[in-house]
Homo-oligomer: A and B are copies of this chain.
Amino acid sequence: MAFQTKATIASFGGKLLKLTHQASSTDCEMALNLYLPPQATTNSLHKVPVLFYLSGLTCTGDNCSEKGFFQHGASQKGIAVVYPDTSPRGLKIAGEDDGWDFGTGAGFYVDATAEPWSKGYKMYTYINEELPKALFGAFEQLDSSRVSITGHSMGGHGALTLFLKNPGKYKSVSAFAPISNPINCPWGKKAFTGYFGESAQEKWKEHDATELIKKWSGGPLDILIDVGTGDNFYKQSQLLPENFLQSAEQSGHKDGVNVRFQPDYDHSYYFMASFADEHVNHAAKYLFA
């Protein structure tokens, strides 16, 4: 489906495109931001790799493109960055705007199977299939064979699960303060109860990074995760990176998961901005391997 370009903004030598397109998986118009680094705007024959950045609860693709500082490193390395939205918008499903941690702005990167959410809450398919297909069809500068993924909080969960569910599809993964074990935290339990139903426990596990890593057979892992020790959601046991780490160790992937506890950092974009360059560099290592 064709994209509409709502705005083109100069940023770090490249262009940030504010795009919308009609998406069938989410049954609505979706907005996103696409950062094209200078390498992709000055020479349209030069294909650049792509980093998907998945946002956290309540966010749109705008927050991180304004505050996350990914364009800084992406410009230097020559990587395009995709900032999608976090849910369908305006489906008029009863209750979709009742809370900030479920429904609008809280799609959790799953395909809902429970009514009424199964109508358009298909963020897994949207991010993993429909959006990249549309982007690679519309922007010939983007190299579909070199894609990495990262994200924050709910988006860190999305990045880890999409990576672990699709061996080989993403060249690398990293995450900031990811919801690492959603089936065991309040946010995840609420979301999965709503999107899958309380009894669909096997379905829950299919979207839980701590469960998924147990079954990983895609070769050596190199997962970079940053968590701030001053992060209130970490302290409230919403993130549970220790569970992910333990699961990685028990399944023989201890050396493949690098969880860095960053002293004093909180859950905000100040935290992400501080380490964005390092996550872009982590992706670049594999995108340019």
Contacts and interface: CB of A to CB of B under 8 A. Distances in A.
Interface of A: 9-13, 15-16, 66-67, 69, 71-72, 228, 230, 262-266, 268-271, 273-274
A271 to B, nearest CB: 7
Contact of A69 (B13, B263, B273): B273
B67 A274 contact: no
A229 to B, nearest CB: 9
A228 B8 CA distance: 14
Nearest to A274: B12
A67 B64 CA distance: 10
A13 B270 contact: no
A10 B72 contact: no
Contacts of A273: 11-12, 69, 71-72
B66 A9 contact: no
Given A69-B69, A72-B69, A72-B72, A230 B10 contact: yes
Nearest to A269: B66
B268 A13 contact: no
B69 A9 contact: no
Given A10-B262, A10-B274, A66-B67, 8 more contacts: A10-B265, A10-B271, A11-B273, A11-B274, A66-B66, A71-B274, A72-B72, A72-B273
A72 to B, nearest CB: 7
A12 to B, nearest CB: 5
Contacts of A262: 10
B9 A270 contact: yes
B66 A10 contact: no
A43 to B, nearest CB: 16
Contacts of A10: 228, 230, 262-266, 270-271, 274
B11 A270 contact: yes
A51 to B, nearest CB: 18
A24 to B, nearest CB: 31
A265 B71 CA distance: 15
10 contacts: A9-B266, A10-B228, A10-B230, A12-B273, A66-B67, A66-B269, A66-B270, A69-B72, A69-B273, A72-B273
User: Which 7 pairs from chain A and chain B are nearest by CB?
Assistant: A10-B264, A10-B265, A11-B270, A12-B274, A9-B270, A66-B67, A67-B67
A16 B270 contact: yes
Contacts of A13: 274
